[in-house]
Amino acid sequence: MRSRKPRYRYTTLFVVVFLINCLPSAEPMQALAASEPVAKPNIILINLDDADAEMFSDSTLAERFPNLHQLAGRSVKFSNVHATTPLCGPSRACLLRSQYAHHCGIRVNEPDVQASYGFDGGMRSYVERGHASDDLSTWMQDAGYHTMHVGKFLHHQTLFMIPEGWDDFYSSVGGRYFETYRITNRGGPGPYSERLAPGIYRTNAEAADSIELIERQANAQNEKPFFLFLNPFGPHRQQVDSGEMYEDKYSHLWPDATPPESPSYNEADMSDRSGPLKHMSLISPYSHEYLATHFRERLLAMKSVDDMVGDIVATLEEQGLTDNTYIFVTSDNGFALGHHRLVSKGVAVDRATNVPLLVAGPGIDPGRSSHLLAHIDIGPTIVQLAGGSTPSFVDGVSFASVIANPENAAAVRDSVLIENFETRTMFGAEHEFASTGLRLKTAIYVEWATGGREYFNLSRDPDQIENIYSQIPLSNKQTFANKLRKMKSWAPASASFRKPYFDLEPLEYPYTLEGIAESAVSTREVRIAIRDLTTGKFWDGSQWSDAFKQVSATLAHPNAMLTTWKLPLDFGDQPPAGLAKAWVWGLDWSSTFQSPESVTFRLGKVTSRVTLDSPSYAQCFAGTVDLHGSAVSGVQPQLEDFELRIRDVNSLEFWNGNSFSRSSVYLSAQRTPGSWSLSATLPPGTYRVSINGRDLDGNAFDVIHRLFHVDP
């Protein structure tokens, strides 16, 4: 044990959270302990990654996570807190800015990919928009705090820099638990690059850094309180092949752990849905094995997070700060692990939006609260407790009054806006989950961009099983729709491309332009202009014209705020002579619009493509596996790059042709003009085959994933 240090002159607010945002100013601690002397608290915010609310159930904490269980025993436990865009990147940006994603502008995990529909995301955009100089970190500096960040920062962290709001910045980059790359200002102004030594587990390194920073600042001569924003990677899945996602010392724990039973798990009947979930396939028996494995991996990753919390609490006690420490625990988003047939976040279901939140500290009586809160409310609460102030642009509101009196405090808000802007891929298939919705205290209302509306009464249907939109009164439907428009009244109509997405991308047959449109009022029309860059002529829908022409696209959800659109192109015997350029405009009923998006594309006489004809999805083999398909290129029936991998979904090891390996291994398929094939003799198990590559002209084809099984 470390020797006890003198009590730090400032009280401590220990915030273990998974999301943050802004709120109005107030004297620190006023709401919680008005009779106590006003003193600035230290604040520690722990923001977990993909920790669903069920992981913080009373039984799970008691059985598996003793430190979090002890913390929960002296906390107010909030059960109705929701991430406004339940996806890592935008959720974290919205947390720091205390804004909805449509205001913050960071809407997707990664920009410049087809799944993002052209929406913005990532750290570079966050910085270029000026957010890094006006967010939670700078608000806390303005309130007189020494600010410290440890762990995951923003998604797609491609900038080698130290954001100006952080006095200490120890950022972990990427999706691995071991040999993690880091950007820090350790020992100087930085930035400096680091990589964890082999065998060092990411969560443990971040815990050690946090403890060192707490001890250093507790004994600093600058007399500043500190704000520590701690972001462990657990229990997010491993994103690269660099070992397990948990420590070896815990590999023996809970071998029989399986997801708790729930009516929404592999939901039997989804015919009542009107959105994309209606078309989700039932989870196969073999996929259940993978889900059980990943459920256990998540628990084991959380075991180290629990250790981290215990070590930090012990450090605060050794520093004499326990009695003056507030602790908030939450997550950047929830996670559906088989619920509603999903393995995902970023979708308008409670399993994805609902996040845990514990709040413990002096003056707080243990209890429970069902107050409706948004994750963007956490930042304003912290700033208020710190005695600071937030800018007028914030969407979050403080819930300090609820912390002080969870049973009798007035409601903080009557609804939370839920936004999703990108597609998600599951079991090798892409799903368009873009939507706008309202989370009410006991209900959910959703408008899907692909068409359809849904409403769930959670008082009667807590598992979100029965869509009763068709049964509610017209007046209620209008109220919900108007509420959505009021919450998103911010900008003129806009539209963007999804296919083609990149300039010079070949448009495959059948030729169809696709994209998404958005408007706070409602999208009335999407217009596209197409110009042959060789002749300079415009396409009018049936022929080329010297005059400027526009063609109207088909909207999946007319008059909605968010809708996908498509425009089939039948050029007949009049295809563009070479490159073509397309512009897209979105128009609302006020006839306002933003500058058009544009993309340059070309048509291929023959589509470049690769198919996987065998195995079919979840096909079973006995011993020898026959994989084959076609390979056709628009240049010639040959491929320049062809990469094929087979991976055991339980051990996560790769087949090298003779045995399994932790390292990624590409197999050599037999290729003939127009086709490919591979035979492999595998032991019993469940496997995933993936194929990707490009042709001699540089045309890349979509990666194909397919599960299959080998029976004994």
Is residue 64 domain-resident? yes
Number of structural domains the chain divides into? 4
**Amino acid 191: pLDDT:** 93
324 and 183: one domain?
A: yes
Is residue 40 domain-resident? no
pLDDT in tens, 55-71: 999 999 999 999 999 99
pLDDT in tens, 568-603: 998 888 888 788 999 999 988 876 667 788 998 887
Element (H, E) at 192: strand 192-195
Is residue 429 domain-resident? yes
pLDDT in tens, 228-248: 999 999 999 987 655 689 999
389 and 432: one domain?
A: no
Question: What is the mean pLDDT of the segment spanning 110-126?
Answer: 88
Last residue of a domain, one of 414, 433, 458: 414
d(CA 280, CA 260): 21
> pLDDT averaged over the chain?
86
Contact of 119 with 416, CB cutoff 8 Å: no
**Amino acid 335: pLDDT:** 96
Domain that holds residue 295: 45-414
pLDDT in tens, 383-422: 998 999 999 999 999 999 999 999 888 999 999 999 999 9
Whether 27 has a pLDDT exceeding 70, the answer reads no
Q: What three-state secondary structure class fits 567?
A: strand
Last residue of a domain, one of 397, 414, 431: 414
361 and 468: one domain?
A: no
Q: Which of 476-485, 507-516, 641-650 has the lowest mean pLDDT?
A: 641-650
311 and 362: one domain?
A: yes
d(CA 307, CA 253): 15
- CATH number of 509's domain: 2.60.40.650
Q: Who's near 213: CB < 8 A, 6+ residues apart?
A: 148, 150, 168, 170, 226, 228
DSSP labels for 151-181?
E--SSS----S--TT-SEEEEEESS-SBS-E
597 and 706: one domain?
A: no
- CATH number of 634's domain: 2.60.40.2550
Q: Who's near 591: CB < 8 A, 6+ residues apart?
A: none
Is residue 257 domain-resident? yes
SS (H, E, C) 105-118: CCCECCCCCHHHCC
123 and 268: one domain?
A: yes
Q: Which residues pair with 172 in a beta bridge?
A: 182
Is residue 18 domain-resident? no
CA distance to 329, 540, 578, per residue, from 600 (Å): 47, 18, 11
**Amino acid 346: pLDDT:** 94
As a dihedral over the C-alpha atoms of residue 540, residue 543, residue 547, residue 553, rounded to 10 degrees, the angle is 10
Over pLDDT 90: what percentage of the chain?
58
Global pTM?
A: 0.82
**Amino acid 33: pLDDT:** 43
Is residue 628 domain-resident? yes
d(CA 297, CA 667): 28
Last residue of a domain, one of 539, 572, 603: 603
**Amino acid 609: pLDDT:** 64
**Amino acid 617: pLDDT:** 64
Whether 378 has a pLDDT exceeding 80, the answer reads yes
288 and 159: one domain?
A: yes
Is residue 482 domain-resident? no
**Amino acid 296: pLDDT:** 96
**Amino acid 96: pLDDT:** 98
553 and 526: one domain?
A: yes
403 and 426: one domain?
A: no
389 and 409: one domain?
A: yes
pLDDT in tens, 529-574: 999 999 999 999 999 999 999 999 999 988 888 999 999 998 888 8
CA distance to 319, 360, 361, 371, 428, per residue, from 403 (Å): 25, 9, 10, 10, 44
Residue with tokens 């003009």: 673
Whether 16 has a pLDDT exceeding 50, the answer reads no
Question: What pLDDT band is residue 633 in, cutting at 50, 70 and 90?
Answer: low
pLDDT in tens, 434-489: 999 999 999 999 999 998 999 999 999 999 999 999 999 999 999 999 999 888 87
**Amino acid 30: pLDDT:** 46
Is residue 7 domain-resident? no
**Amino acid 653: pLDDT:** 84
435 and 320: one domain?
A: no
**Amino acid 375: pLDDT:** 98
Whether 294 has a pLDDT exceeding 80, the answer reads yes
Our measurement of the distance from residue 592's CA atom to the centroid of its chain's CA atoms, rounded to an integer in Å, reads: 31
672 and 599: one domain?
A: no
- CATH number of 112's domain: 3.40.720.10
**Amino acid 237: pLDDT:** 92
